[in-house]
Structures are given as C-alpha cells and as structure tokens.
Amino acid sequence: MSEGKQRLAIGRRVRGAVLFLTAVAVPAQLFARGSQAVVIHDIVYAGARAIDPETGLDAVRNIAVDGDRIVAVSAAPLKGRRTIDARGLVAAPGFIDIHSHATTREAAGYQAKDGVATRLELEIGTWPVSAWYQAKQGRELLNYGTSVGHTAVRYFIQKGEGAAGLAALRDPMEKFGAREADEPLSDAASSRLSALLEQGLGEGAIGIGSGTQYAPGISRREMLGVTAAAARSATCLFTHIRHGSLVEPDSAFEAVQESVANAAATGACVHVAHINSMAMRDAPFMAALIANARRRGIDITTETYPWGGSVDAVRSHFFDPGWERRWGVTVGDLQSRSTGKRLTQAAFDALRAGTGDDGVIMHMNSEATIAALLRDPSVIVASDGGRIEGANGHPRSAGTFARLLGHYVRETKTIDLSEALRRITLMPAQRLEAFVPAMTRKGRLQPGMDADIVLFDPRTVGTRATYGDAARYSDGFHYVMVNGVFVVDRGKLVDGVSPGRPVSSKLKS
C-alpha cells in the first residue's frame, strides 16, 4: 500500500472511532496498533470537571490540547505525551480581565496565579498605540491589549504633539494631575482629537478608553464626539464616567445617564467601568438602569470588582471640598497606601497639601452592595488591578478572581460557580468579539478554541491578599495555560516563558 493510501486508511479508522482533529489544531501523532489507531495529544487533562459557559457543559471530561488549541473535550479516554490527573479540579476557560492596569511582569505573575490568561487595558488606554504593542511583542506572560486613550491623546495635543507631547506622556499618571486636564479643547484641537483616536483604532486599539473624571475640561460636547468616533469605527467606548457622587448636581446618576444618552444618540457601544466605585451604595440601581437601557436596544454594559474599597489620589478632584458627602464616607474610611493606617484629619490635610505619595484606599462599598451587583446577571467582573505596590496596595491586583470564586461562590453562596465563571470568561469575550476577532476563540472550553485554560480546586480556591497584606498569591490554581503553554504548573509560576499574544481589533486571526 502506498504511503498516501496508508494515511487515508488510518484517517478513516480514526474518524470511525470518533477520534478526530479539528481543522485548526496542530496535528497530534498517530500510532497504528493492528487495526486501531491511537491519537497522542500534546497535553491531556484527565477527569476534570469541565465547565463551558457557552454550551452549559458541566461534567467530568478529558481535555486534549495540541499546540495552541483545544482539540477535544471528551467523555472517552484520551492519550497525551503528558497526561495530568485533573480529578477533583474544575477546568474552565482562562479568565479575561477587561480592566487591568497591571503592566509589569511581576503583576502578570500575580494575575496568572489568579487564573487570568488575558489582561486588557481598556478603561484608560494608551498613546501611541502601535508603540505600546511593539514594546510588548514576545515579552508577555499573558495575552494583552489596549484601547486608544482619549485622556492621553487630548493631553498629547495640548502639549504640542511631536517630541514634546510624547515626553509629556512618559509618566502615564502625570496627565491626570496636569492643569491641561481642566482646560477645554478648541474646535481645531477637537478635530485633531477625532483624527488621532481613529488613527489609534487603525493601529489595532480595542476601542477608545476615556478617563473622563480625571479631566474636568472634557465637555459634554467633546464626550459626545468621542462616543460618535467609536460608533463610526464600529468599536466601543470604555469610560470612567464623569462623576462619582451620591449628590446632585454632578452625581454618578447624571454621569450614567450621559453615557446612556450618548450611546443612544450615536449608536455606539459604551462600557461603563467599575460601577461599584463610581456609584457606591447606588451601584445596584445604576447597574439596573444600564441593563434596562440594554434591553431597549442601547448597547451599554458595566462591570464591578468584588472588593469594597477603591484607590484614589488625595490631591485629585475626587477630594475637592464636599467629598465626604459626595462619596458617603469620612476621613476614617481612608487607608494610606504608604503606611497601611487609616487617616486622621491631620494626616489627610498633610497629604492634600503635600507633594509625595498621596495614594489612599477608600472603603466605601458594603458587602451588601457588592453582593447585589454580583447577583445582577448583566454585570461583568473585572479587577481594575495595577502594579503590585507592596503590602499596602489594593488586594484586587492579586486576588480579584479568587475572591469571586472563594468568597462569593463557596463561602457566601452569593452566586453559583457556573455563573461566576461566565462573568469572567464568556461575558467579556462576547462583549468584545464583534470588533476583536480573537475573542471568538476565547472564553470557551470547546474544540477549536485557544488553549487558554485554568484548572483550580473549588474547595481551596481563594484570595490570600487582603487590605494591609496585598502582595499575596491566590490559592487553589493548579494549572494555568496561555496559548497551550503553562504559566502556572502544579501551582507554581513557570519561569522563562512568554506565551502572551496581542489581542487587537486589527488582527484577524
């Protein structure tokens, strides 16, 4: 028999045994044994509780990976060059964090140990976009992507563009405290803003990110124009809304209504960042308002992180006089990120007048507020995490998803496991997939999908990071795979690997 006919015969026997490779998979090895053929996969997870939020699968399955794709999720036994005993572990798609400011390798390690396979900087974004992607190529532990930053671009224009504008952006936080943030744009600058935002989208940015509250000079007309730019490009606006306040005028309610109105007027996709830290005890009401608008055909969504505190700068506009009433807190609800201690009035006044580190954690959300948001099936869960800044940083940077699965699923039973996984896998993928082609292959545990896979123990998964002891890895994650490469193996971070790939609106496959 010719070599070609032998291969055809083997292929027929394999198909007859319901052992096949998907068209997108890297071919596994076939070994013929008499009249049978055995497929040997690269990796097999044996006996895992497989949960796929899209199909509703929740059953014991064997999962095969070849190259960078999932090729089988099967009740039948599978063979692998490496077979992992996954009995007692939950297998799920790698988590997708659509709100991450974690830019360092160290921070990526904490997120990997929290089950994250893809981290996206969408709320604030960056400029220039192409340089951001180029700097990360081949160096990232996790999949990565960014929006084009409205606040950054307007500051770049105000600083004169060119070398001067780029120099002004080297400190990514400088633009939030600059006097230019208070200044409105001229008509000419507004036209230039639209052109540069669309340039960033053409370079692959995942939508437009707007830190609106950080720049009071952004007029409502400017915000409508930025939303319209997102609509013209068939992408999404990710917004830190204009106001965080319980009190009118200039309330969070007004800011949410502005976002709803702009989405309705332009037909744009709009996503409101961290509704928990903008609307405080009113957040469940705001989330319901957004969900009602969506049911009426307006393309708007929101998210929460499962912690009660936010991170803010004392010298920002957030703490202008009257802040206690606006936020519903007092000085004693502020915790220094330098010392870990709660502030006194004297300490607050010194920080407000000073020039050093002014970061604080503001404890303004109750457990009841967070639980109500998690019970709302329309609310995505994201971290708003950042760099790991020692013990007194915010624990969301290290333990957002473990806290969801440990505290809110297992301990308080606020939300069930399958639904919790949907909020951090399928929901973010579906929110983005209309304009980010790579997302059609993420957030699912199915043959043909990217091999971004997490396996955790539902009995032990949980966060060790807390307020005052924030730099702690999460518990319970045994394996985390990114594009078929282990970044967490047997519970330990893997050194020397960089399997993260760019997630972009420009890349088609």
- Do residues 333 and 246 both lie within one domain? no
Answer whether residue 357 is part of any domain.
Answer: yes
What is the CATH number for 417? 3.20.20.140
| Mean pLDDT for the chain overall | 91
| Domain termination residue (choose one: 443, 461, 490) | 443
Answer whether residue 4 is part of any domain.
Answer: no
Residues 182 and 356: their CA atoms lie apart, in Å, by: 22
CB-based contact 204:131 (threshold 8 Å)? no
What pLDDT does 175 receive?
56
Q: With 70 as the cut, is the pLDDT of residue 72 above it?
A: yes
Tokens of 165: 């504008």
Give the DSSP per-residue string, 418-473: HHHHHHHTHHHHHHHTTT-GGGGGSS--STTSB--EEEE-TTT-B---BTTB---P
- Do residues 228 and 324 both lie within one domain? no
- Burial class for 374, CB neighbours closer than 10 Å (0-12, 13-18, 19+): buried
- Do residues 412 and 332 both lie within one domain? no
- Do residues 135 and 211 both lie within one domain? yes
| Domain termination residue (choose one: 325, 342, 362) | 362
**CA angle, corner 96, sides to 208 and 462, nearest 5?**
135
Q: With 90 as the cut, is the pLDDT of residue 19 above it?
A: no
- Do residues 129 and 100 both lie within one domain? yes
- Do residues 307 and 328 both lie within one domain? no
What is the pLDDT confidence band of residue 471, given thresholds at 50, 70 and 90?
very high
Domains in the chain, number: 2
Q: Which domain holds residue 139?
A: 95-311+363-443
- Do residues 119 and 225 both lie within one domain? yes
Answer whether residue 306 is part of any domain.
Answer: yes
- Do residues 326 and 211 both lie within one domain? no
- Burial class for 205, CB neighbours closer than 10 Å (0-12, 13-18, 19+): buried
pTM (predicted TM-score): 0.92
Tokens of 395: 């624990």
- Do residues 253 and 328 both lie within one domain? no
pLDDT tens by residue, 417-458:
999 999 999 999 999 999 999 999 999 999 999 999 999 999
What is the pLDDT confidence band of residue 354, given thresholds at 50, 70 and 90?
confident
What is the pLDDT confidence band of residue 506, given thresholds at 50, 70 and 90?
confident
Handedness of CA 434, 439, 441, 445 (dihedral sign): negative
- Return the residue matching tokens 């980010």: 436
Percent of the chain past pLDDT 70, that is, above it, reads 91
- Do residues 322 and 398 both lie within one domain? no
Residues 401 and 305: their CA atoms lie apart, in Å, by: 9
What pLDDT does 163 receive?
85
Q: With 60 as the cut, is the pLDDT of residue 481 above it?
A: yes
Mean pLDDT of 273-289: 98
Residues 64 and 376: their CA atoms lie apart, in Å, by: 34
What is the pLDDT confidence band of residue 38, given thresholds at 50, 70 and 90?
confident
Residues 460 and 411: their CA atoms lie apart, in Å, by: 11
pLDDT tens by residue, 196-254:
999 999 999 999 999 999 999 999 999 999 999 999 999 999 999 999 999 999 999 99
Q: With 70 as the cut, is the pLDDT of residue 395 above it?
A: yes
- Do residues 238 and 347 both lie within one domain? no
Mean pLDDT of 75-87: 98
- If one counts every other C-beta atom within 10 angstroms of the C-beta of residue 366, the result is 12
Answer whether residue 23 is part of any domain.
Answer: no
- Do residues 207 and 283 both lie within one domain? yes
pLDDT tens by residue, 99-135:
999 889 999 999 999 999 999 999 999 999 999 999 9
CB-based contact 496:475 (threshold 8 Å)? no
Answer whether residue 80 is part of any domain.
Answer: no
